[in-house]
Structure 1
Amino acid sequence: MKLNDKQTAAAIIAVGMAFMGMAIRNGIVTFKDRDRTVAVKGLCEREVKADKVTWSLTYKEIGNDPSAMYDLLEQKNRKVVDFLKSAGIKDDEISINPAEIADRQADNYGNEIMNYRYKAKSVITVTSNNIDQVRQLMRRQAELMKQGIAIVSEEYSNNVTYEFTGLNRIKPEMVQEATKNARATAQKFADDSGSKLGDIRSAQQGQFSIENRDNNTPYIKRIRVVNTMEYALD
């Protein structure tokens, strides 16, 4: 092959790769010249506010008298419940888990000297659809500290979780929008290539995903779906 021929071939390949990269960025997956079809992706994203919050208030005690520790946890339970109700939390939004008491000496394999043999834990869980109310209440945890109740975070779990339960309500609109966006991409490809966009050959709906928008606003959810459509080109 002559030098000019090599340069021409390289130029064609470069242009083709550039077009392919641009096509992928714009949602075009594949183009089959022989079958005269184009496959495209249509994206729909929405940000929504969570509509359910679960807040676990955990506090712990250590001591040598299990009975006295139970009584102390019961007293603290009443104080926490009073605190929650005073802020408008309803009875059916509050659940009190049974207190847990563990014998530290039973788990002491190294013969460590312990000043306190038992450790106890109590958990009260708030489950509500009033996100703003609970978030405002979380900012007032210092009031519990003043009553001798220190709320702690569990090592392997979050003490607050936010959920969005209304996905089924917005699914149809999001699927429709993703499909519309896919068609717009296919139409642009047809226009740019001098073709006419034909009927849908195949369609595949992607899975919906729900994620936190970011680490600082877990109560705002980002919902995403991607549809893949294949159109005929006339």
Structure 2
Amino acid sequence: MRVFFICLSAVCALIISAVIVAKPWVTIHHAEPIVVKGYAERPVSADAGSLTAYVTTTGQTNAEAYESAGEALKKVQALSTGILGADIESVELPTSVQSVAKLNAAGKKTNVVDFYQVSRSLRFNTKNVTGLEKLGRALYDLNADGMRIEVSGPSFFVSDLDGIKLELVKEATSNGKERAQIMADSSGEKLGPLVAARQGVIQITKKNSTETESWGIYDTETIDKVVKLVVTVEYQIGR
């Protein structure tokens, strides 16, 4: 019986020793990958923009109101050409015509037309982004001359975003690898191959802005912007 217990103890000791020796290898072999985020950003300047001017006029007849709106559009067109020069594309948008009914003594609408109201608009597209800013301010000033005008924009865009995105993907991925390498070195492990990579959404924000959205941001209010990109990369370790 004593011999049996001795043999049993020896077997148990061998099993425990094997587990102690094997445990570090199992931990490394089945270790979770290093998951890091790589970041890249680049300042850019808009090289295209658009602005829409809306004029509204009234008249006793539809024709009178329409003609008056046409004269107002001519002033808008002349102002835009004077500021932007030949580098401009103007597109007239659909016209809105509305008849306004007279009100009776009780303030209710009647079947008699009081006047007609016509709204016409022009959209300007240009690469002269600084001139577009100036045009927006000048158009608002036409209200001081009795013209009823509203302005949408200006909006500023970056035309070569695809090329910028590809460069940022490279830079952000490289940044992620550097971070993963630092983490592996700091823990005494070897950085293995890349096992997964996910690109985040592009964020185009104002300068010095920390604003982000899960679906991405595209700032159109400013000429000078920053394009930002985050990628998530996973690397094996211990290989």
Aligned to 1:148: 146
1:53–1:162 Cα contact (<8 Å) kept: yes
Aligned to 2:232: 228
Match of 1:35 among 31, 44, 48: 31
**1:130 corresponds to 2:128:** yes
Q: Deviations over 1:123-165 (max 9, x none)?
A: 1111111111111222323553354323225xxxx44322222
Higher strand residue share: 2
Aligned to 2:223: 219
Give the partner amino acid of 1:210: I
CA distance in 2, matches of 1:87, 1:39: 53
CA distance in 1, matches of 2:234, 2:186: 17
CA distance in 2, matches of 1:44, 1:83: 41
CA distance in 2, matches of 1:95, 1:102: 22
Give the partner amino acid of 1:42: G
User: Residues 46 and 149 from structure 1, CA distance in 2 versus in 1: closer, same or farther, beyond 3 angstroms?
Assistant: same
1:61–1:120 Cα contact (<8 Å) kept: yes
Give the partner amino acid of 1:118: Y
Q: Deviations over 1:89-118 (max 9, x none)?
A: 338511223432112339xxx834799442
What is the deviation of 1:59?
Answer: 1.5
Q: Deviations over 1:12-69 (max 9, x none)?
A: xxxxxxxxxxxxxxxxxxxx98335211111222232222211001121233321111
CA distance in 1, matches of 2:145, 2:76: 9
Aligned to 1:57: 53
**1:176 corresponds to 2:170:** yes
User: Residues 194 and 89 from structure 1, CA distance in 2 versus in 1: closer, same or farther, beyond 3 angstroms?
Assistant: same
Secondary structure at 1:90 match in 2: coil
1:62–1:116 Cα contact (<8 Å) kept: no
Give the partner amino acid of 2:128: N
CA distance in 2, matches of 1:196, 1:223: 33
Match of 1:97 among 74, 79, 93: 93
1:197–1:233 Cα contact (<8 Å) kept: yes
Give the partner amino acid of 1:49: S
CA distance in 1, matches of 2:169, 2:145: 51
CA distance in 2, matches of 1:63, 1:170: 51
**Structure 2: gaps (5+ residues):** 1-27, 210-218
TM-score (norm 1): 0.71
Match of 1:192 among 161, 186, 197: 186
**Who wins on radius of gyration, i.e. which is larger?**
2
Q: Aligned residue pairs: how many?
A: 196
Point out the more displaced range, 217-226 or 126-135.
217-226
Match of 2:65 among 69, 75, 100: 69
User: Residues 92 and 54 from structure 1, CA distance in 2 versus in 1: closer, same or farther, beyond 3 angstroms?
Assistant: closer
Give the partner amino acid of 1:150: R
CA distance in 1, matches of 2:86, 2:114: 37
Secondary structure at 1:218 match in 2: coil
What is the deviation of 1:191?
Answer: 1.9
